[in-house]
Each structure stands twice: as structure tokens, then as C-alpha cells.
Amino acid sequence: MVDQTVAKYLNELRILTMLRTQGPASRADIARWLGVTPATITRLINSLIDRDLAEESKTAGKTPDGQREPGRPGGRVSLNPSGAFFLGVEIGVGIIRFAVIDLMANVVDSTEITVSRTLSPSEAVAAIADHLNALKKQKLFKSKIMSVGVTVPGIVTSDGFVINLPILGWKSVDLRAELSSAITLPCFVENNANAAAFGAVYTQPSLPSICTIFLKLGTGCGGAAVVNGRPLRGANGTAGEFGHIRLSDQGALCSCGQRGCLESWVNLGALARNYMDTDKLTESQFAALPAEVVHEADAGNAKAIVALESFSHWMGLGIVSLINMFNPSTVILGGVMRPVLEHTIDQIRSAVEAGIISGIPVPDVRLSELGKFECAIGAATIAHHHAFDISRVEMHEHELQL
């Protein structure tokens, strides 16, 4: 039997999750939703208000049909956005991006810094600790940053151990342990595509979340699935390497050592080869490439048109394979290929509709709304989720698992 302390904790999480996903509500509405007495809801709400996690308007409560709530007048309870903050960090190649979200999961601060392209784990941790300390000196964030989420573009286990991050040369790094030794707040480490996928769903609670597929396109092709509001991790936490679905036996050599992977057909290197007949570009050339190809295609450049047609063809094939396997309600596309995705999204949707198994509902194929900070924002939402979301709590045979 769950004791009163645990019951209070779970009910507080339910209230916070309800207010974040459904908006403000009266105390009576919350009591009915939780199935608790007015006295219990009074204690719970007052406790959240005392801790600055919730606030209450002074207007009288109304029932859904517009009538005044029975009993004494009451206000609308809502989250206090500035009651808590969460730092998200994306460790990339030559860059670290930071994003801070508030209790409503809205972005309130974002920035990026340039770092060495051969950044070591200890250097990354030091940069994160320095940024966190700088944030804590700001009046808005002082003592209210609750936890830190960090993403890397590599294979990460569910306990924050980086198995392999070839693009930075990291291998077998206990990144969560290194973070915990330098930062006193709870820290979480996640693959960047998993984080971006989770953030895309978490920040839009109105989206269906039974099953969402996310693809992050850039130097590689990261992937993730969010099922029932949670990342699908697999047995060891490394599921979601969708970029390595084999679509053919030909093609450029993929980063995994195979040929014909989805990644090798739709990443920046593939775009460069189809447009410029080479993938030996500088970092700045790669950064400008998606917009340049789209601009040239609009101007009638045949090579650019072919490059975009190849991209949409292989992208459609890859998404069709994922839909046939996962039956998602939503497929979200993000990453630095945004200009190309915007230009080809209609062709991709048509290819998906024509290619999936007959009878499978066509999912909503859409672009990510989080922009270039999507991984950092996703990391911050993971930190938020661990602190204040009821869906992370499971009960297994009288044991509370967090």
C-alpha cells in the first residue's frame, strides 16, 4: 500500500502534468479529475503555491457550462512558469548549444558557443558547468534551475553511458558520471535524436503521442520513436538508429561501414555529391548547402533539381519503411536540412501515401517546430520530465520506480 507521503507526491505530479498539458483549472475541476476530497485538494494546491510551482487567479471558478462553481468562490489554478527552470545542452561538432525552459516547457533562454572540433568529454563538462554557473548568477534563474539534460550525436545507454561517438572520437565514456562530479544538480544524458524527438512531442501536448517517429537530418540521419509519451529505448537504451535502415546494396559508404543506408542517401554528404559531384566541403560550405541547393533549384539549375529529387525519393522510401514497421500517428522531420525539407515536403508526403501498405492510416508528416536548438530544447524537456511529469512514474509490485 502506498503511504501518504508517496500519495501526496504522485498527486502533485498529476496536478502539475494536468496544468501543463490541459491549461488552468479550478480547484473543483482538479479535485474531480484526481478523485480526491476538497480538503485534500486544498492541501495539495496550497503546497504547490507555497513552493512557487503554481499560482491562482482571483476570478471566481466556473463550471464547463459557464455557471459559477458551487460553494465558496475560487480562482483558476495554473502553473507558475518561473517556478522552476531546466537547462538543456547539445554537444555538437565545434559547437555547444544551450536552452533553458520554464515550468510550462517554454524556451526562455538560448545561446551557443564555439568549441574545439576535437572537444574532449572533460572539456565539454567544464563548458557546461561554467554556463550553468553563469545562469545561476542571473536573478531570474538563481536557485530555480532544477536539473540538466545533455545530448550527444552518438550511441548512449539509458544510464548516460556514451558507447560510441565517432564524430567526436569519444568511446566508452561515462558522461553522466563526469557531469555529476562537476554539477550538483541531477543530470541526464541522451542521444540527440531521442532528445529532439521527445522535445517535439513534449512541447506540443496537443499532438497525438501514441507513436511518433522523428528523423534528424544533417551530417548524419538520427532517428527516434516516442511511444505513449516515452522514447523507445530498446533493451540497452540504444534503439532508434533509423538512419541505418538498409535501402539498397549500392551507394556511398555510410559512417557505420555499410553501403545503402538511409543516412548515406539523405544527409548533407549525399546532397553535396548529387549537386557538386563531391562531398569534400568545408564546414561553412556544408552549412550553406541546403539553402543554396533550394535557391538554385528554384532558379532552374538542373543539378540542384536532381539533388532534391534524389533526396525526396530516398527520404520517402525510408519513411515508408518506418511507417510499415511502427504505424506512427506522426512523423516529424528536423535538423539542418530544413530548407530542403520545406521544399520537398509535399513530394515526401505523396511518396509516403503511395508507398505504405494498403490499409495502414497515413500519418501526419510534418516539420519540427523547435528550430536549430531542437536538441538542446529536447534535452531540457527530458530534465523537466524527470522532475515534474507523472508519466515517468511507474508502480511495479509495490516498488516506486522513478
Q: pLDDT, tens digit, for every residue of 20-31? A: 989 999 999 999
Task: Say yes or no: 253 and 326 in one domain.
Answer: yes
The amino acid that residue 29 corresponds to is: D
Q: Does 216 share its domain with 351?
A: yes
167-195 mean pLDDT: 93
Is 90 exceeded by the pLDDT of residue 58?
no
pTM over 0.85? The answer is: no
pLDDT of residue 362: 92
Boundaries of domain holding 89: 84-197+376-391
- Give the pLDDT confidence score for residue 107 in this predicted structure: 96
**End-of-domain residue from the set 79, 98, 132:** 79
202 within a domain of the structure (yes/no): no
Q: Are 74 and 27 in contact (CB under 8 A)?
A: yes
Handedness of CA 269, 271, 277, 281 (dihedral sign): negative
Q: Is the pLDDT of residue 59 over 80?
A: no
**Residues contacting residue 280 through CB under 8 Å, at least 6 positions apart:** none
* Same-domain status, 220 and 339: yes
Q: Do 348 and 218 fall into the same domain? A: yes
What backbone phi and psi angles, to 5 degrees, belong to 167? -65, -20
Least Cα distance to 156 among 168, 147, 144, 145 occurs for 168
pLDDT above 50 for 402: no
- % pLDDT > 70, the chain: 92
Residue 70 has pLDDT above 60, yes or no: no
The residue ranking higher by pLDDT, 216 or 205, is 216
Q: Which residue has the higher pLDDT, 314 or 233?
A: 314
Highest mean pLDDT among 33-42, 169-178, 197-206, 383-392: 169-178
Total domains in the chain come to 3
Of 53, 79, 105, the domain-final residue = 79
Task: State whether the Cα torsion 159-160-166-170 is positive or negative.
Answer: negative
- In the block, cell 462553481 appears at 69
74: domain CATH number?
1.10.10.10
Amino acid at 255: S
Residue 69 has pLDDT above 70, yes or no: no
Residue 397 lies in a domain: no
382 and 275 assigned to the same domain: no
